Amino acid sequence: MTQSEIIEQKNALYSERNTLESQLDNDDYKTQKNSEYKEAGLPYPYDPIELHTKHQAWRDRINEIEDEIKRLDALDPEDETPAPEAEE
């Protein structure tokens, strides 16, 4: 794998990770709202099991992405310069 290919893959992984982290941040209000309702003795406005399952899947994928980025960081990229042509 060339350095360019490694960079391209890492950029795609960073983009996916950022999207997942943003989804978690954007969904955080649901967890907070559930906590407020629990404290007030009211039924949850959002299904806590469904919410947890979705969030955990996102966290698991973020961890997989982090592992893949570490694996790519450890690679020794192939030389991208073309091999000299043999003289006849």
**Cα first-last separation, the chain:** 30
Rounded Cα distance, 25 and 32, in Å:
11
- The neighbour count for residue 34, using CB atoms within 10 Å, is 19
Each residue's pLDDT expressed in tens, for the chain with a length of 88 residues: 899 999 999 999 999 999 999 999 999 999 999 999 999 999 999 999 999 999 999 999 999 999 999 999 999 888 666 556 655 5
Residue 77, SS3?
coil
Neighbours of 44 (CB within 10 A): 15
CA dist list (Å): 18 to 3, 61, 80? 22, 11, 29
